[in-house]
């Protein structure tokens, strides 16, 4: 799927396309939030390729000690903004961290 120039620029700034090209299953980006309803559980935005190889965006939590996808949908700027706002709504900012990749 073709993305807009603005969308491509955002993905490049976050390092998503480069990270996914090197083979990891998912890329966790952006600030870390601690979930208000589950203290001690952290959440971050995540990018991944679904079964149909579409780029998807959502969020992941570390409740099992490793980042696991909670929910996601095909990537668009609208979806990116939705998950960015959702994390701010359900969690409290903990830290800014560099992107992480997971297999």
pLDDT at 13: 93
The separation between CA 54 and the C-alpha centre of its own chain, rounded to angstroms, equals 14
DSSP secondary structure code for residue 5 in this structure: H
pLDDT computed for residue 37 by the predictor: 94
Residues of the chain with pLDDT under 70: 1, 103
Contact (Cβ atoms closer than 8 angstroms) between residue 72 and residue 50? yes
pTM > 0.85: yes
55 and 49 in contact (C-beta within 8 Å)?
A: yes
102 closest CA partner among 64, 52, 54: 64
Each domain of the chain, given as residue ranges in start order, spans 5-102
What distance, in Å, lies between the first and last C-alpha atoms of the chain?
Answer: 23
What's the pLDDT score for residue 65? 81
């Amino acid at each position: 799927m073709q993305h807009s120039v603005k969308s491509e620029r955002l993905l490049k700034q976050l390092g998503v396309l480069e990270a996914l090209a090197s083979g990891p299953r998912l890329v966790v980006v952006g600030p870390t939030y601690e979930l208000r309803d589950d203290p001690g559980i952290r959440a971050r935005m995540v990018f991944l390729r679904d079964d149909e190889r579409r780029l998807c965006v959502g969020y992941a939590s570390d409740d099992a000690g490793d980042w696991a996808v909670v929910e996601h949908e095909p990537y668009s700027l609208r979806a990116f903004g939705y998950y960015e706002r959702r994390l701010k709504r359900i969690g409290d900012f903990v830290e800014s961290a560099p992107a992480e990749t997971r297999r």
